[in-house]
A = this chain, B = another copy of it.
Amino acid sequence: MPSQVSINGSRLLGRLDAFAAIGATEKGGVNRQALTLLDRQARQTLTQLAMQRGFKVFQDPAANLFIRREGRKADLPPVLVGSHLDSQPSGGRFDGALGTLCAFEVLETLEDHAIKTERAVEVVAFMNEEGCRFAPGCMGSMAFAAGEIPADWASLTATDGAAFQEELHATLASLPEAEMRSLGFPMHAYLELHIEQGPSLEKENIPIGVVTGIQGTRWLDVSVKGQTAHAGTTALEYRRDPMRVVAQILAELYGTVMPSDPSVRFTVGRMSLVPGAINAIPETVHLTIDLRHPARDAIDRYDATIRDAFSQGAARYGCISEIKQIFDMPAANFRSDIVKTVEAAAIKAGLASKRMLSGAFHDALFVNRIAPAGMIFVPCRDGLSHNEAEHVEPKDSVQGCYALLLATIELAS
């Protein structure tokens, strides 16, 4: 049967255009942040499409949106397929939307071809994956996996001043067509298609990434404190310059950490110098380190290396370093049967694939805590994401969607 089935590529590409128009930016990207009016509009649009096809629509108290197509056996846990609809403030058209619309295309294709699956298949759009208007990211899948909304979210305020509670309730209220269900439910498996957000598939010309897991991430907040003094009047022997420490230690770490281990990621994305005057030695340098690795003990080991390096470097120049862990997300390893199912789907679709880790976190990371999850990556141009220039070739969207269809049918049978 599946060999006869194919998805409706032009419908999928049309949907991508239609959703890209909701919050479109001048530069061709999307600004559709979580729980905004535009986010609600995207949810409503998807709900309308679902109801036109006769699918039932649900939402849970975390504003996760579900679209259900029944299987033969209503009592079997369903296969969940999806991603998210919210975007970064200067985001692209594909991050999240592609996975959600491919999942919906899978549902429509099943319906078009009257394919009866054993299990129900549900499309999901998780709330606030990006985490830029309200932190943390992956709120919807986190609450879904936990079965409850963390109490401290009640006091969250957006970067634009809006209260999380109010925005969540308004978002829920804007979708009266959706039946409310409780948070979390038994599932057979979860599949998520996503753009790679990195350059390797494109560079290696491979259309399908079979994701084996999501690497662990730890964020460190580093402060090195010295003493501010006049740039012109302070000779070297009187300087306690924290920037000198930071330059030296970072040069060491850039030169050793990533070059020595292909699985580690080491990134300094933020730095500030206080007081920040051109003619003053800084009193303090603040910086962040984003450290990733598929193995927890490796993260611990690099963490210790970083702490030692800063502490010794600071002492060398009369400074003091302080390092705080501000975020720690353990790695997720996808179950091998799901990985094999995705791989088999790519083969069946006649598409080259390679196994790879996800460097970014995704809703699948959280869902994997309560049910086997898997992911399909498709190439994106220059590895660009979180960027208005984010681009996926139409062919890659269609092929990825086809692999997702085959994997879904397999899991739902």
Contact = CB atoms under 8 A, between A and B. Distances in A.
Interface of A: 196-200, 203, 215, 217, 219, 228-236, 238, 241, 243-244, 246-248, 250-252, 254-255, 258-259, 262, 265, 267-273, 276-282, 288, 290, 292, 358-361, 383-387
B267 A281 contact: yes
A270 B277 contact: yes
A259 B273 CA distance: 23
Contacts of A273: 268-271
A273 to B, nearest CB: 5
- Chain A to chain B: the 6 pairs with minimum beta-carbon distance, closest first: A198-B233, A232-B359, A233-B359, A247-B250, A251-B251, A231-B267
Copies in the complex: 2
A232 B360 contact: yes
A229 B385 CA distance: 7
Contacts of A200: 235, 238
Contacts of A230: 197-198, 359-360, 383, 385-386
Q: Which of A196, A219, A265, A281 has the most B CB atoms < 10 Å from its CB? A: A265
Contact of A231 (B252, B259, B265, B282): B265
Q: Which of A233, A247, A387 has the most B CB atoms < 10 Å from its CB? A: A233
A229 B290 contact: no
A270 B200 CA distance: 35
Nearest to A387: B228
